[in-house]
Every structure is written in structure tokens, then in C-alpha cells.
Chains A and B, each alone.
Chain A
């Protein structure tokens, strides 16, 4: 993927630079295309366009021109910042320690591309704003310089924060502590001083700031030494883990590194305890055999882990609610009514964790399943398909059972009917759990977005409809239940004609 300088070694230096830089700049596009996710890119692009374009268009329609211009400008800048962030991410991925060490000119090229892009974006923002303000009759030059400095600083901070994730902590803390007088005073005072300096010599100050930032920016790339290698390794690990979890393949806590292992210890202990209990109580009955097989089949998504997490989350939320009522004096009812949207989404996603994660878990453990299928006592053929299906549905039902108390509490609080309506479509969606496991395929990152979007839309639609016609809630719930029952019965009967479920994905 990195441009090969050797191939162009006969060409003059300047001519070599452009193909190299172009390859680096176009890398995100190429990589997404190679991963087969072009339609995903179009989807994300459309969503981004909508989220940015709608407010801009609205502003142009409803607000006076200067204000609208500002809104449009901000929308454009956010878009540019997204592109900049994406590009920085890709450049960091290209910054492999071995390549930096052995390929001549590669490290320099990366830095040149980053700086060039940054300066280009800054210049673009400055020029466009200067022109716009000039056309509208204001001081174009000054505005241009202000915007240039502002854009440069924001993009620069973004690049540094992408490289060193812990920088977000002081940034967020800085914002949240604004309430404290001492901090606010300091910020205001330094800001006033900076403004003073800048008013005196705008051009010089702009250039000075740009120079300083430009000197620091290339530091995000490494030099091919041991420290670079370690930093790259940990970046890759994080990237793989986030990629896997967004595709629904939740890796074990241990994949997050040493501190991940430490955090995941309670769940690991629980899983170990269950494993030894189930091995001690082993009998040749199908129930005992499937209970043991389930431990391997579902791996990190085993019901012990999922249910304990669900219970923990509910406990934490309950404690937060109690703490908030105690601190602010608002009643629980008011809090629940106020946060009912978030709670609805949370409950619906809890209801659907099994549906979202278990097929992926079967795919992940498909090679272990080859050994499981050879164990004496395991059912075969349709009996196995049904046994696996029943085990998975049990896990789904338990997730529902665990969230019923929370649901009941929200209903009691008053706005519960909307929540119920939001959660209701999760019932028939649960029938989607019973797929043909032997034809499972690896779900890409983009492939996992669609079902989530579907659930969000279904829930939202359901809540919207019932809020328009409150009397229809109970019949609507009944319809959902019947639909779920019908789908489940149909899929259960279909299992007679499907190939054996395990090993998963062998016919895909």
C-alpha cells in the first residue's frame, strides 16, 4: 500500500513526490474499496451529508445571510475536520516502524503529506472565509486570518488527540471544569492576552502560530525505533479490537491488553466457576452435553457473561438515578420521564444483545465446533440444530426476563408506554436469531450497522405511531407478540429442512 520509491528512482525527486503523496492521500478510499465496503462508504457519506447539510440548508432558508453564512461555514468545517481526522488515522496506519526504518524517504513523505494537507485545509478555510466576508462588505483579510488560525488550531489539536488518545481527558476536563471560578479566570485572562497580541500584529501572529504548530505536527509520526514499534503495536491492537467489536464480534477483555485482562477478571472468574461446575455435574444427557457445548460455542458471549453484565449495568444505572434524586431532589418519576428516550434505547439494545451477538459467536467458534461435533453425546442432524436454536432462544428469553423489572419501573414512572412501544418490535426481531448457522458468513464492520439501524428505526416508528394513537398501544403489543410467535413457529418448522447447524459457516 505504501508508495514504492525504488520504482521511481530514475525519475527526478519532485516527480517522485507527487505519486507517493497521491497514494497516501487516496489510501482510505482504496482500502475501503478493497474491503468491499464501498456501499458502506456511500451510506456513511450520505449520513454525514444529511447531518451537516440539513442544518446548513435550514440556516440558509430561515436565518439572515451573515448568520447563515457562519452556520454553513461551520458545517463545511466539520466536514473538512472529519476528512482530516480520517486521513490522519490512515497516515498513522501507514506509519509502520519497519517501513519507516528501512524504506528511504517514507517517513519524510508521511510528514510532508500531513503538513501539506494541513496547510492546504487551513489556507482553504482562510481564503474562503476572507472572500465570503469581503463580498459581504466586512474586513476580509482580518476574518480570513482569524479563521485560518482557528481552523489550524482545531485541526492540529484533532491530529494530536488522534495520535495520543489520552489528550481527550484534559480537553474534556478543561471543558467540564469551566464552572470553577479559578479555571475560568485563567482561561479568560490568557484568551484576552492572546487577543491583545494578535490585534497588534495579526499577520505576524498568524504566521508565528502556524509555524509553531507546524513544527509540532510531524511529531505524531515515529522514527522506526523501539518506541515507535511499541506505540504502533498498541495502536494496531486497539484498531483490531474496535473493528471486531463494531462488527459484533466482542473480543474478550484480554484482547485490550494487560489492563483489559485485569478489568475482565471478575467475568473470567465467573466463567471459570461455571465451567468447573458444569464439568463436575456432567452426565451423558443431551441437556448436560449442550450446556457444556454452549460454553465453547458462545465463548465471550456466553449467558453467564451477558446476564451478569446486564445486571451490573442495571445496578449502576439504578445507583446513578438514586444518587441524582438524592443530590438534586428531583423525584424518580421526573428523572425517568426526562430520560425515557435513552432508557428506551438502552432497554431495546439489552433485549437484542443475544440476537446481535450469538450468530457472530457461532462464527467465531466454528473451528472449535468441528471438535465438539466429534464428541460422544452431542446430538446430530436436526436434533443438533434444534438444540442449538433452543439454547440461543433461552439466552434471549433470559435477557428479556432480566430487563423486565427495569421496564416495569419505567412504566410505573409514567412515560413507560412509549418505552414499551419502542421495545416491542424487539420481540418479532428476536426470531431473526434462528438463522441457518451452516451458511453463516463473516459479518464485516459495515454489515453490522444495518441491523442496528433497522432496530432503531423500527423502535422509533413504533413509538411514534403509538404516541399518535395512545389507545392502540395494547393491540399493537398484541400484534407484536403474535407476529413473534408466528415467526418463531415458522422458523422452528423450517429447521427440519436445514443442514446440521454445526460446524457453523461450512456451507457459506
Chain B
């Protein structure tokens, strides 16, 4: 299994300097750089309206960018060839697409395009998630529609999975089921997964890397374990804190000035270093990181 997860030289997804604005409005993505290596499972975190959906659409070539280059499996996204497209699976935010088809018709329709199709997996998931094959998609509940959308994206065994809030309509049991399915994919095939969601507990379990998006760029991408181990919230007078940061060789991620000459700094310590005794440093949770970094 580790062979899948070793960093290979060609990134699965490579975005460099991507700038995107809608019409004459302000830029949503401002010179964004991002790379995903094969086998990585990355959680994309950002506030509402930060441009996560826009980023994922630009990544797949569904939106034209004004500047920068975007590549998937080494090919420019504006002109992906058939072999590359057969390796991509996408779950968009709206799950009620193709609502005049029945579930069965939808799967047969998509099957006709893909050279590789795992019918056994589709059948297994359809029965496990209890989706009525002959019911029109418009008549399915929101959760069923979302599950069907996920099955459709997983059915052709993709090497890159792009998920835009795929579990918003699912109850906790459904979400757990979906995460198990995702873990299975990662183990079996070493799929690269990009996962955008607001449900932090899901991301903590299944994503190994976190990418924080703010102001049109990816401000930080790192394994969550490392972040939880290394990032501390330091408080004290400005000079104390600055001195501490310098001594430890830490990187200041965010500064917040407090009253009376005091300051709070979110700092990432180098691997393996400990805070000296007496230093006022708190450990952070993923939610804290989300609030500070996005």
C-alpha cells in the first residue's frame, strides 16, 4: 500500500499563478499556486464565498482562467484528452442533476462513455445505500441524490476524485459510510482526493493533508498531524512573543495584537521542538486553525 502513497515526481494536479475573475468583477482566485501529489487526500478549507467551488471548477477546466496555468496529470486542463478524462471523477455541489433520468438510466448513460466501469462496485453500493434504481432522480430525497452522485463518480475507478461538498445532505451514518468508501478507494487504488466540506470532523478522519484557502490563494498546505503537533498559540507581551518565535526558529502564521502591548501569535514550531517551560502556549484544534487561517 505504501507504494501508492510515496510521493511521485509528476504531481496529479498542478496549478501555478491561477487568476480568475467573473466578468469585470474582483478576482476570486489571485495568483493561486497549488500542487497535489498522487495518492494524497487533501481537505480544502475556506469560508463561504472564499472561492472553493470556483477553484475546483478551474482545476477541472470548467472555467477559463485569466492568467496562470493549470494541469492535471501533466496535461493542460483546457484540452484534456480522453485517457486523462477517464481517470477523473467529479462530484459537484448540486446533486439534483439529470433529474429526468432514473438512477438506472443515469448509470447506463455514464457507463457508455467510460472504458473502465466497475459494475460490481456500483451494484454493491446501490444495494448497500438502498437506492431505488427505477425511481426518477427528481423524486429521490436529497440524501439519495447525493449518494447516487457519489456512486456515479466512483464507478469508473478514477485516479483523481474532486469532491465539492459531497456530504452536505447526508446524515452522520451516511457520512461515515461514504468516508469508509473513500478510505477503501485510497487503499485499493491510491486515488488522489480533493475534498471540500465544512464538516471538519469528516476531514480530520479521512484527509491527511489540509489546504487552507483565504483571499484567493492557498495560504497553507500541510499534513494535519504535523499541524496539530507543531502549531501553538503563543500569548504574551509583544517583545516576549517575538523573542520566543525567533529563538525557536518558528514560523508566525498569524498575528493578533491585544490590548496593553500584548500580542497573540499563531506559530508553527520546527518539527520536534518543545515549548520552553513557562511559555504561554496553547495547543490548537482544527477548528481553531480554520478560524485563524481562512
Contacts and interface: CB of A to CB of B under 8 A. Distances in A.
B113 A376 contact: yes
B85 A282 contact: no
Contact of A507 (B64, B109, B110): B64
Contacts of A252: 100
Contacts of B62: 370, 373-374, 503, 506
17 contacts: A252-B100, A279-B111, A282-B112, A282-B113, A296-B98, A296-B109, A367-B92, A370-B57, A374-B90, A375-B114, A376-B86, A376-B113, A377-B82, A378-B85, A381-B78, A506-B62, A507-B23
Contacts of B83: 376
B1 interface: no
Interface string A394-409: 0000000000000000
A437 B186 CA distance: 38
B64 to A, nearest CB: 6
Contacts of A284: 82
A272 B105 contact: yes
Contact of B112 (A279, A371, A506): A279
Nearest to A383: B79
Contacts of B108: 276, 279
A376 B82 contact: yes
Nearest to B85: A376
A283 B9 CA distance: 35
B97 interface: yes
A279 B109 CA distance: 6
A380 B88 contact: no
Given A275-B105, A367-B97, A370-B92, A377 B113 contact: yes
A50 interface: no
A254 interface: yes
Interface string B94-132: 100110110001001111111100000000000000000
Nearest to A373: B62
A296 B82 CA distance: 20
Contacts of A254: 100, 138
Contacts, number: 73
Contacts of A500: 78
Given A375-B85, A380-B79, A499-B64, A289 B100 contact: no
B140 interface: no
Nearest to A271: B100
A416 interface: no
Contact of A292 (B64, B98, B109): B109
Contact of B113 (A276, A289, A299, A499): A289
Nearest to A283: B112
B80 A371 contact: no
Given A370-B57, A374-B90, A376-B85, 18 more contacts: A272-B105, A279-B108, A279-B109, A279-B111, A367-B92, A367-B97, A368-B98, A370-B90, A371-B97, A373-B61, A373-B62, A374-B80, A374-B88, A375-B85, A375-B114, A378-B85, A380-B78, A499-B64
A377 B85 CA distance: 9
A48 B68 CA distance: 55
Contacts of A279: 108-109, 111-112
A contact patch SS: helix
Interface in A297-354: 299-300
Nearest to B82: A376
Contacts of B114: 375-376
A507 B21 CA distance: 10
Interface in B72-86: 78-80, 82-83, 85-86
Nearest to B102: A272
A503 B100 CA distance: 19
Contacts of B210: none
Nearest to B104: A276
B47 interface: no
A487 to B, nearest CB: 27
B79 to A, nearest CB: 5
Nearest to B98: A368
Nearest to B93: A367
A499 B78 CA distance: 11
Interface string B132-150: 0000001000000000000
A337 B211 CA distance: 73
The 5 closest A-B pairs by CB, nearest first: A282-B112, A376-B82, A375-B113, A376-B86, A376-B85
Interface in B147-195: none
A506 B61 CA distance: 12
B29 to A, nearest CB: 15
Contacts of B70: none
Interface in A221-266: 252, 254
Contacts of B80: 374, 380
B192 to A, nearest CB: 16
B4 interface: no
B198 interface: no
Contacts of A374: 60, 62, 80, 85, 88, 90
Contacts of B57: 370
B90 A371 contact: yes
A298 to B, nearest CB: 12
B30 interface: no
Interface in A27-50: none
Nearest to B86: A376
Contacts of B69: none
Nearest to A268: B100
Contacts of A376: 82-83, 85-86, 113-115
Nearest to A272: B105
A416 B100 CA distance: 41
A211 B207 CA distance: 73
B108 to A, nearest CB: 5
B259 to A, nearest CB: 40
A292 B61 CA distance: 21
Given A376-B82, A376-B114, A368 B105 contact: no
